[in-house]
């Protein structure tokens, strides 16, 4: 025990999530060494992340090596839904933690590595608040919102939408039935996230999926075809 | 409630620094939290009270400096403080996506003994 001394000030000036960011940087470097694009997929629960991934794996995995890491508080239901083809799927159960963090991804990557995927989808815990702050090592962020969630979703969750590289509108096949106002929704997405591309999809009918696949292809190309992997300074920048 | 994770990291850093300086008590922790960080102040304070129990920071004061949002217009390059979540440039009306300030989550300093 050190002797008691007079109160004094220590200057720290450290980013609180520095440790997470360091691990995220390491993850990104490893994933980039496979010439793979890591896509962090974020949305509220039930917006269709798993359905979009099921369909994406079915359509793309015959010609492109893919892999999935899926985070949920509990159950391996999503992993079982996704593990029907040749793409490796790793389920992370966060127990009571409301987001994935870079350490969880680091521990999952050895299981993914042998497959040498070209795209690694990371399905985050369904939550539009907490996951926004945690870089995982992704190259891009896809934020999903279904037509049943209200056109003002971006206005309600601006912090997350402002980090999106692409906003994927889902369940377009039921847009009319639920009175979805497409123009208002697109205007809200653009107002909050002018940096993001937008694709309108239905995993059930296949509507818009070509645009989703094209977008992914373009990002793989942008990362790897035009020279070495671009170093992204921060996932939340 | 990711504020629990954020406070857990904060306290780990704080205790590490205190130990390195041979301090046994932390009396005050000063943080900088940006308005666009997505961190709720009430939840952060609550997390501090819960997690600091039985640590050298038990009973310490948590001081939080809020950092206002600042954007740079992608059109004309002007820096401005946005009003509300839609970052419209007050000069040219362009929507901006470049955030120059407001995402901070930092442990600034501590008072220890």
The 10s digit of each residue's pLDDT in B8-36 is 999 999 999 999 999 999 999 999 999 99
The answer to whether A161 and A196 have CB atoms below 8 angstroms apart is yes
What average pLDDT does the structure give for chain B?
A: 95
Q: Residue range A205-218: average pLDDT?
A: 98
Query: CA-to-CA distance for A69 and A223, rounded, in angstroms?
Result: 20
A101 touching chain B per CB within 8 A: yes
Task: Give the other-Cβ count within 10 Å of B16's Cβ.
Answer: 12
Q: Give the per-residue pLDDT at B97.
A: 78
Task: Average the pLDDT over A14-26 and give the result.
Answer: 96
Return the pLDDT at A86. 86
pLDDT of residue A89: 96
**pLDDT-based confidence at A236, cuts 50/70/90?**
very low
Determine how many CB atoms are found less than 10 A away from the CB of residue A144. 25
Quick one: pLDDT at residue A4? Answer: 59
pLDDT of residue A233: 42
Nearest chain A residue to B8 by CA: give it.
A16
pLDDT of residue A7 exceeding 80, the answer is: yes
Question: Which residues of B are less than 8 Å from A134 in CB distance?
Answer: 2, 5
- The C-alpha atoms of residue A92 and residue A136 are separated, in whole angstroms, by 13
Phi-psi region of B10 (alpha: psi -120 to 50; beta: other; left: phi over 0): alpha
- In the structure encoding, which two tokens stand for residue A118, read together? 């070209």
Within 8 A by CB and 6+ apart from A174, the residues are A147, A148, A180
Predicted TM-score (pTM) of this structure:
0.91
Helices A209-220 and A49-60: crossing angle, nearest 10°?
A: 70
Q: Give mean pLDDT, residues B69-95.
A: 93
**Res B53: pLDDT:** 96
Question: Which secondary structure element, helix H or strand E, spans residue B95, and what is its range?
Answer: none
- Interface contact flag, A97 B111, Cβ < 8 Å: no
Residue in B27, B95, B106 closest to A7 by CB: B27
The partner residue sitting opposite A7, judged by closest CB among B14, B36, B112, is B112
What is the number of helices (H) and of strands (E) in chain B? 2, 6
A183 touches chain B (CB under 8 A): no
């Amino acid at each position: 025990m050190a002797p008691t001394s007079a109160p004094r000030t220590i200057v720290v000036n450290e980013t609180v999530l520095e440790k997470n960011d360091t691990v995220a940087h390491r993850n990104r470097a490893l994933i980039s060494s496979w010439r793979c694009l890591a896509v962090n997929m974020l949305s509220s629960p039930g917006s269709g992340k798993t359905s979009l991934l099921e369909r994406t794996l079915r359509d793309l995995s015959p010609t492109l090596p893919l892999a999935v890491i899926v985070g949920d508080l509990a159950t391996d239901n999503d992993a079982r839904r996704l593990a029907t083809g040749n793409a490796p799927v790793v389920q992370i159960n966060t127990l009571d933690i409301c987001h994935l963090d870079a350490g969880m991804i680091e521990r999952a990557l050895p299981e993914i590595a042998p497959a040498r995927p070209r795209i690694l989808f990371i399905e985050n815990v369904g939550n539009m608040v907490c996951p926004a702050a945690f870089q995982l090592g992704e190259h891009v962020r896809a934020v999903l919102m279904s037509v049943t969630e209200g056109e003002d979703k971006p206005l309600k969750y601006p912090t997350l939408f402002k980090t999106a590289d692409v906003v994927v509108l889902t369940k377009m096949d039921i847009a009319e039935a639920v009175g979805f106002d497409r123009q208002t929704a697109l205007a809200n997405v653009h107002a909050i996230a002018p940096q993001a591309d937008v694709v309108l999809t239905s995993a059930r009918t296949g509507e818009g999926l070509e645009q989703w696949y094209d977008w992914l292809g373009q990002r793989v190309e942008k990362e790897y075809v035009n020279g070495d992997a671009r170093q992204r300074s921060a996932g939340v920048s | 409630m990711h504020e629990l994770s954020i406070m857990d990291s904060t306290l780990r850093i704080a205790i590490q620094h205190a130990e390195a300086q041979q301090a046994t008590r932390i009396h005050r922790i000063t943080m900088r939290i940006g308005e666009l960080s997505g961190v709720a102040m009430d939840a952060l304070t609550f997390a501090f009270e819960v997690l600091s129990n039985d640590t050298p920071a038990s009973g310490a004061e948590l001081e939080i400096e809020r950092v206002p949002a600042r954007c740079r217009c992608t059109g004309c390059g002007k820096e401005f403080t946005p009003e509300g979540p839609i970052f419209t440039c007050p000069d040219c009306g362009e929507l901006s996506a470049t955030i120059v300030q407001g995402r901070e989550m930092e442990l600034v300093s501590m008072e220890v003994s």
